[in-house]
Every structure is written in structure tokens, then in C-alpha cells.
Amino acid sequence: MTVRIAMWSGPRNLSTALMRSFENRCDCAVADEPFYAFYLARTGIDHPMRDEVLASQPQDWAGVVAGLIGAAPEGAEVFYQKHMTHHMLAGFDLGWMAKCRNAFLIRRPEAVLASYAQKRGEATLDDIGVVRQREIFDREADRLGHAPPVVEGADVLADPRGTLGRLCAALGIPFSDRMMAWPAGPRASDGVWAPAWYDAVERSTGFAVPEDRAPPALSDDLRRIADQARPYYEGLSRHRINAD
């Protein structure tokens, strides 16, 4: 029976590198942001390569969900799904999540905003998805009766083997050494938007050692957004699997 893993993240948050890590397992297929076209079509937001994204994926909610909870690609034992929390628009049924093992990937808001602004020049609180991430986390915690796994991107970089081992244990799958490194370059599984967003991960062959540097400088507007986001991030961080 296939184990479906839904990893819930915001943008600019090690999410594609983590997808690479899982995809390098011998037993795993992946889905890269399957609700992206739906999100763009419903909101009308202008993102890089918008037309290409809209043409590359189904835009109807039910059609996307059917692909996620149906047969896994090539009958894979593990089906890893990389989801952006801000793609989960209000009013659409999240009941399908019960068919997945759900986990949450987090990053300090200041770092997310600095990275996001480099790509798009501006950001809103909704763009980084942390409010919606907390809402989805609370929904899943209520369903389970306990907190689902939360992983901090910085913990993965600082101790990839230990953090991924604990994540796999929390998800009920064995850890694989193949998760530690992968070949550089693009993947057929990457979203069509990869040229606009994935330049760094395409050069990577594993999880880079974290740089010892000062927190990123933010504009006044971005600092205000970071302040708004921080309570949601800190609430999730208290449940991270590496927390003491």
C-alpha cells in the first residue's frame, strides 16, 4: 500500500531540496506543487511563468485531489507531495488530507521574506503562507489528537541525517541513505516554473552547510510582515521534531 506524504510549506523554504531528497529514494515518486495552476487561475495573481504554469496542470480542485489520492505514479511505495500552504484557498474541502501523512516545513519569516523579495521584489503576509500553514497544522492536529511532524529547514541543514531520520520515523517510513545526496540538474518531475525559481537547487547535490551570517536586512514593509508572521512561525516551531 502506498504511503502518501503531504509536506506543507511556504515558499523559499528548502522545500524543493527536501523533495529532491525524497525523490532520490528508490521507493518514492513526487508531486511538485500540484495546486499551483488552480491557485493562479482562481486568484488571478501574476507570477513568473504564469501562462506556462496554467497550461501545465489541471486547474480544477477535484481533478488535482483525484490525482493525489489515486494510484501513485508507477505504483511507488511512497508518494511525496510538495504543497504550498497559500495554494489552499479558503472554502475548498481539505478532507483528502486524511488519506496522507501530513508534515510541516518551516523557516524563520525574516529569511523567507528576504529570499522571496529577491525573486519577486515584494511580498505580502499571504504570499509566504505562514498563517494558512498554522491553520492547516491546527486542523490536522485536531484530527489526529496530537501535533503532526514539524521540521525546521535550518535543522535539516545543520544535521540532515539526524533530522531526516527523525522525520522518517515520525512519518512511519524507513530512512534511506539515498536521501542525503542527489545528482545535480533538473528533474522531469519539476514544475514547469523551475527556470524561474530552482536555479540554486538545480546546482545542488545535497543539503548545504548553513552559512554563519547575520540575519538578512529587510525593508520597513518587509519587517512589518515578518513581525506579523512571527507568532505563527513560533507556534509551529514549538512542535518541531528537533525541539528540546
pLDDT in tens, 217-237: 899 999 999 999 999 999 999
**Using CA atoms, how far apart are residues 106 and 234, in angstroms rounded to an integer?**
10
For residue range 108-144, what is the model confidence (pLDDT) as tens digits? 999 999 888 877 778 899 999 999 999 999 999 999 9
* Dmax (CA) of the chain: 50
- Tell me the three cell numbers of residue 226: 515578518
- For residue 82, the SS3 value is strand
Please give the Cα distance from 135 to 132 (Å, whole number). 5
What 8-state DSSP symbol labels residue 27?
A: T
Question: Shortest CA distance to 185 belongs to which of 177, 194, 176?
Answer: 194
CB 200 within 8 A of CB 186: no
Q: What is the pLDDT of residues 60-87, one digit of tens each?
A: 999 999 999 999 999 999 999 999 999 9
Spatial neighbors of 217 by CB under 8 A, at least 6 apart, are 114
User: How much of the chain is in helix, strand and coil states, percent to nearest 5?
Assistant: 50, 15, 35
CA atoms within 13 A on the CB side of 38: 19
Residue 161: CB partners within 8 Å, gap ≥ 6?
180
**How far apart are the C-alpha atoms of 213 and 203, rounded to whole Å?**
21
- Which pLDDT belongs to residue 235? 98
- Nearest residue to 202 via CA among 46, 19, 9: 19
Whole-model pTM?
0.95
Q: Closest Cα partner for 105 from 207, 13, 214, 190?
A: 13
The C-alpha atoms of residue 155 and residue 152 are separated, in whole angstroms, by 5
Distances (CA, A) of 161 to 167, 169, 173, 210: 10, 12, 14, 14
> Which has the closest alpha carbon to 193: 3, 11, 6?
11
For the chain, give the percent of residues with pLDDT over 70: 96
